[in-house]
Amino acid sequence: MNPVTIDLPEQVLYILSTLEERGFEAYAVGGCVRDSLLGTPVTDWDICTAALPEQTIAAFEGHKTLPTGLKYGTVTILLDGVPYEVTTYRTDGKYSDNRHPDKVKFVNVLKRDIARRDFTVNALAYNPKTGVVDYYGGAADLTAGIIKSVGNPDKRFGEDALRIMRALRFAATLGFSIEERTSVSILHNKHLLRNVPPGRINRELGKLLVGRGVGGVLRDYAPVMAEIIPELGTADTAAAVSAAPPEVTLRLAALLRGVEPTLVLGHLTRLKYDKATAEAVSELVRHYDAPIEPTQVSVRRWLSLIGLGRLRQLAALRGLDGIPPLVNEIIGRGLCYSLKGLAVNGADLLAAGVPSGVEVGKTLARLLELVVDGALPNEREALLGQIEKSG
């Protein structure tokens, strides 16, 4: 037991005290305790208890409760519109799919519940009366900056292969190292990631990529990343990812910069990324090495080609510091770089005698190119005059 005091939210204290008043142990558990000890903001407060699910529901009669995971002992309690998950102490049976236990057994001893958890830094519980409960040295590992499995790492990763990605994610986001035995097991069991639904990989990968320690993780665990996207096993992307701004789209582009853009789109679609993200990353990869010069003409051409938002992303991704000021100048002066800003439109061209159909689009594109290159002012008379000359 540890005398450290954690400032629990009023609603969490209410849940703990309500269960205790009915004779059931209850603790805040897992990541919320970890983050509290690290002094970082807590987004989710999970609670474990000796109460069975039906006893938890009965204890909160008068409050809205949701049977969100009764099979695994979880009840969600809504307090002031905020959900809090309360889960019965349990042990897990066999994991046939490397993801979920085939069955669980409810128990009334906290230590048995803690023993099934993934890493020591997540195997921490807290109650104001008891303090921090730490059976596996998680607090010391937090101080030392170590990710270490609870018990046998091969067993932990065999139970739930997503824990491999969670280990890498925690190492990256917390800036921790992975304990040697756990590290060896990750590399040995990496093939088990093939059994994990792509959407779950997606979420862990995104968090990993924006972590402050992502570079070291990518260098040390390239074979694991190759299980997710095979081409990653042949390219050193750690430095590029670390240098990119910590935003998922940009770091995905840095990660995949050596992959064929058409394959990028396919990989991200398979991993259940939304269409907008997949297309953005694919386009950024396509133009990763494009010759963008810090001149007004070059910037206007690229604005015309890929648009304002994408050019800003590309400049940030590649560290092209001279591009944003030019973009701002072009926008501030209202200089034309798209058909929307062109001083003539399709109706004007038809009135000037341009044949309807594809010729209108071709002519508009040609006029825009002349304006962007500075060969023609963006003025109605000049543009229509150019049509007459071409005619």
**Domain end position, chosen among 84, 118, 144:** 144
Q: Are 195 and 164 in contact (CB under 8 A)?
A: no
Tokens of 178: 């992975």
- Give tens-digit pLDDT for 45-94: 999 999 999 999 999 999 999 988 888 899 999 999 999 999 999 987 67
Q: What is the CATH number of the domain that holds 345?
A: 1.10.246
Question: Within this chain, do residues 131 and 164 fall inside the same structural domain, yes or no?
Answer: no
**Domain end position, chosen among 85, 119, 144:** 144
Q: What does the buried/exposed string (b/e) look like for 248-269 if buried means 16 or more CB atoms within 10 Å of the residue's CB?
A: bbbbbbbbbbbbebeebbebbb
Angle at 201 between CA 278 and CA 110, to 5 degrees: 150
Integer Cα distance of 318 and 304 in angstroms: 19
Whole-structure pTM over 0.85, yes or no? yes
Question: Within this chain, do residues 354 and 264 fall inside the same structural domain, yes or no?
Answer: no
Positions of the chain with pLDDT under 70: 1-3, 93, 95-101, 233-235, 388-391
Q: Tell me which residue of 173, 174, 149 sits closest to 163, measured CA to CA.
A: 149
- The pLDDT value recorded for residue 183 is 98
State the number of CA atoms in the 13 A half-sphere of 165 facing the CB: 27
Q: Tell me which residue of 346, 285, 294 sits closest to 317, measured CA to CA.
A: 285
Domain that holds residue 303: 296-332
Give the chain's domain count: 4
- 309, with CB counted inside 10 A (0-12, 13-18, 19+), is exposed
Question: Within this chain, do residues 189 and 263 fall inside the same structural domain, yes or no?
Answer: yes
Q: Are 16 and 77 in contact (CB under 8 A)?
A: no
Question: Within this chain, do residues 309 and 249 fall inside the same structural domain, yes or no?
Answer: no
Question: Within this chain, do residues 113 and 159 fall inside the same structural domain, yes or no?
Answer: no
Positive/negative CA dihedral, 56, 58, 61, 65: positive
Integer Cα distance of 39 and 5 in angstroms: 12
Integer Cα distance of 340 and 317 in angstroms: 27
Question: Within this chain, do residues 153 and 180 fall inside the same structural domain, yes or no?
Answer: yes
Question: Within this chain, do residues 79 and 124 fall inside the same structural domain, yes or no?
Answer: yes
Q: What is the CATH number of the domain that holds 180?
A: 1.10.3090.10
- The pLDDT value recorded for residue 1 is 52
Question: Within this chain, do residues 38 and 52 fall inside the same structural domain, yes or no?
Answer: yes
Q: What is the CATH number of the domain that holds 66?
A: 3.30.460.10
